Structure 1
Amino acid sequence: MKFKAITLILACTMLSACQTANHVEVIAGEQTITPLHQNGEREGRFNNLYPGKKTYPTTCKSNCYPTSPKLQCEKDSENCQFIGEQQPMNLNTGFSLRWLGHAGFMIRTPNGQQVLLDPVKEQFDSPVDLAFRLASGFYRQPGDWLTDSELKNLDAVMYSHIHYDHFNKADIEEIGNKPRYLTPLGMADNFPTGGFNISEMAWYAKTNIGDLAIHALPAHHFSSRVLVPFIYEDNDKDLWNGWLLEQNGSTLFFAGDTGYSKHFSDIQQKYGDIDVCLMPIASYYSEDNPKWYRYVHTTPEDALTAAQELNCKIMIPWGYGNSSWKMGDRTSHSALLRLLYMHKKMDSKIPLHILNEGESTKL
């Protein structure tokens, strides 16, 4: 009998079959949206609120990437540092943040909660990691990462969607099961096993961590997580979200990966003007399929238009940078050059706050 028990313990250790199951709750119901196709071959798959052909209020058509004295680059807008003078904010929201690179942010709320958005420490999960490197010859330069103290004191980790550049299982295992994980609908089955506390949230669902209100919001994107992208069987079985943090009357919005659509004005109508907007400006460029890339990613001018519709008091862009993957981008900082140019050309009244990877700011 003792031999059988020892054998079982060894088997559990070797096969990880005895790991603690994850706890998963679904937050949906009245006043929320679960955007599923209702019929046809896509029935049961998630959908955008405003699908179909798009028109865009502003499009840069020529001379979109002029050099800027605000960027110090090694060569041809590659490996750059923003050195421009920041505009004064005077917001006093109580939020502070550090940009980890790409879509990753470490947020400290006015009352001290620590929230992590879309962390990806290095490249992709294996084996896509190796395949991408072999196919492209490119390997992402790691961005900033959390200190040991931050890892131990996280209250929540929030993911916008399952794409490899926003969700990495190896990082989840390093972060551990102490914080609460917030995800779009359908995403929990992508987690490793290990006693993780996961809340899947429909669009416009709300939850709280202490006195921090967290709202799951619409985005205009898609999902897939397969070895070969765009395989039908995997597409859109998991939802994609933006997020809104609200505390002490102050708001911070994270758009997630998204194209431009009417959902931005919907959000403003529901929640009012937004204090801090973390907006994507990259991965919109493709000579092979330009309409598709822009359909699911905002150009810098789309991001500025969206920020205007949200009536953001400050816009912090992301997606460019030395630790970006440059998927659908000309260079590491071409998107930022276009943003600086279009901000002036559009006479945008939304103040910009530009960060380099690893930099922090108090808002």
Structure 2
Amino acid sequence: MGVRAVVAAAVAGAAVAALGRAAWGIPGQIGAGAAAITPRVTGSIGYRDNRFHNTDPSSQIVRGDESSLLSSMLTRRRAGRPRRPIPLATPLAPAEPAELAVTWYGHSSALIEIDGHRILTDPVWSQRVSPSLLIGPARLHPTPVDIEALPPIDAVLISHDHYDHLDKATVIALLGSQDTLFVVPKGIGAHLRHWRVPESRIVELDWEEQTTVGELVLTCTEARHFSGRGFSRNTTLWSSWAVRGPQHAVFFGGDTGYTSRFTEIGDRHGPFDLTLLPVGAYDEHWPDVHMNPEEAVRMHADLGAGDATAGVLVPVHWATFNLAFHPWAEPITRLLSAAEPEGTTVRVPMPGQRIDVLRPGVQRQWWLRLA
């Protein structure tokens, strides 16, 4: 065999090995298949033709402008990275949960303290949000706290099954370190069972169904999005969540496009003292499934029965993973510009920062030097 043949064989072998490493564990990361999911979701709201549907017609990608999307992928992809390292706050965990507080760990992972209970939303502690451990969007900042160091949690809320909201490694870590319930939309329980979460720790709900955890009422509410971890789409439900205690109420938006349905949610379950709303990963190519910051301000008002000044808005779904083409800090600059004339109170924690909603303190504009 000549030198060139030897080199070519070595390169080919290295490529195959790299592909093998990238593909390792993917089936387990994907979770349950349709055979395990379908029996649990048949008859659910919005489920027909073997898949879930949004109430408002929507598309994952706006058709007819593929050249523009390709241009964005080639020229704007790095715009979503900060110019400097993202600062982290040291998470504080009082011995007893507060009346109303929130600690943001990054992206959509947040710890809500409400009326003496703790609720963890969409926990993702992995380095990548992808079925592969080596390929896919990677963290722009470390996790502010080890998952084993989290305080006792009463329930984990999951909004949908995308990798940046439902993470196998994090679920397994919580299974070992916490004695908590996983409260999820219809169908996602199949993924948890696939990962050996006991049935007794899974609560699956349809839109407008409720469960109680201690003194809290958790209601699975509508969102405008989609689902899917493998090649199939929309076999599991997506949702937002209303959390109501004896004294306070919190709304977690999960991941959603704007819809007038949030006015109905506000009428039924509001008003809310705190809303955690997605403000990042928006783009002109997928306006139906991801809100922009101006729509988040509008949604906050809808949830408050048209009162934009009611409650506090904390932005989520930004800063941690580069999932779109907008500049890294643009979601916050646009959010604040839209909120000011409406009189909406916005608090922007840095990753790891705890905000006491009833005593919020001074807002530091920590993101400006990173833009």
Structure 1 length-normalised TM: 0.71
Q: Deviations over 1:131-177 (max 9, x none)?
A: 226xxxx55432323564535x2221110000001111111111116
CA contact (8 A) 1:243 1:254 kept: yes
Asked whether 1:195 is paired with 2:206, we answer: no
CA contact (8 A) 1:27 1:202 kept: no
Gap regions ≥5 residues in structure 1: 1-23, 38-42, 54-74, 84-92
- Counterpart of 1:187, as a letter, is I
In structure 2, distance between residues paired with 1:249 and 1:362: 15
What is the Cα deviation at residue 333 of structure 1?
1.7
CA contact (8 A) 1:33 1:204 kept: no
Asked whether 1:102 is paired with 2:101, we answer: no
In structure 2, distance between residues paired with 1:223 and 1:281: 19
User: RMSD of the TM alignment (CA)?
Assistant: 3.0
CA contact (8 A) 2:281 2:326 kept: no
SS at match of 1:296: coil
Distance 1:139 1:28, change over 3 A: closer
SS at match of 1:34: coil
Alignment of 1:254-273 (within 5 A): 254-273=252-271
CA contact (8 A) 1:125 1:170 kept: no
Corresponding residue of 1:183: 184
Corresponding residue of 1:61: none
Q: Which residue of the other structure, out of 265, 272, 275, is the alignment partner of 1:274?
A: 272
Corresponding residue of 2:161: 162
Distance 1:258 1:204, change over 3 A: same
In structure 1, distance between residues paired with 2:40 and 2:239: 13
What is the Cα deviation at residue 28 of structure 1?
10
Aligned structure 1 segments of 4 or more residues deviating by more than 4 angstroms: 26-29, 75-83
Distance 1:300 1:356, change over 3 A: same
Corresponding residue of 1:351: 345
Identity, % of aligned pairs?
Answer: 25
Corresponding residue of 2:327: 331
- Counterpart of 1:305, as a letter, is R
CA contact (8 A) 1:114 1:156 kept: yes
What is the Cα deviation at residue 349 of structure 1?
1.8
Distance 1:305 1:77, change over 3 A: farther
Q: Which residue of the other structure, out of 287, 291, 295, is the alignment partner of 1:302?
A: 295
SS at match of 1:132: coil
CA contact (8 A) 1:283 1:329 kept: yes
Q: Deviations over 1:272-306 (max 9, x none)?
A: 32111101100002xxxx242x2101100010111
Distance 1:44 1:76, change over 3 A: closer
CA contact (8 A) 2:115 2:247 kept: no
Q: Which residue of the other structure, out of 45, 53, 56, is the alignment partner of 1:47?
A: 53
Q: Which residue of the other structure, out of 197, 214, 236, is the alignment partner of 2:234?
A: 236
Gap regions ≥5 residues in structure 2: 1-36, 60-80, 90-97, 305-309, 358-371
- Counterpart of 2:47, as a letter, is L
Corresponding residue of 1:34: 45
CA contact (8 A) 2:41 2:187 kept: no
SS at match of 2:150: helix
Distance 1:276 1:195, change over 3 A: same
Corresponding residue of 1:10: none
- Counterpart of 1:300, as a letter, is P
SS at match of 2:52: coil
In structure 1, distance between residues paired with 2:53 and 2:123: 25
Distance 1:82 1:351, change over 3 A: farther
What is the Cα deviation at residue 77 of structure 1?
6.0
In structure 2, distance between residues paired with 1:244 and 1:250: 11
Distance 1:338 1:81, change over 3 A: farther
Corresponding residue of 1:361: 355
- Counterpart of 2:133, as a letter, is D
CA contact (8 A) 1:27 1:200 kept: no
- Counterpart of 1:238, as a letter, is T
Corresponding residue of 2:19: none
Corresponding residue of 1:206: 210
Q: Tell me which protein shows more helix as a share of its residues.
A: 2
Asked whether 1:316 is paired with 2:314, we answer: yes
Q: Deviations over 1:239-281 (max 9, x none)?
A: 0011111112310000110000011101012123211110110
CA contact (8 A) 1:27 1:199 kept: no
> Which range moved further: 239-248 or 269-278?
269-278
Q: Deviations over 1:176-204 (max 9, x none)?
A: 16211100100111120142511110011
* Alignment: residue pair count: 282
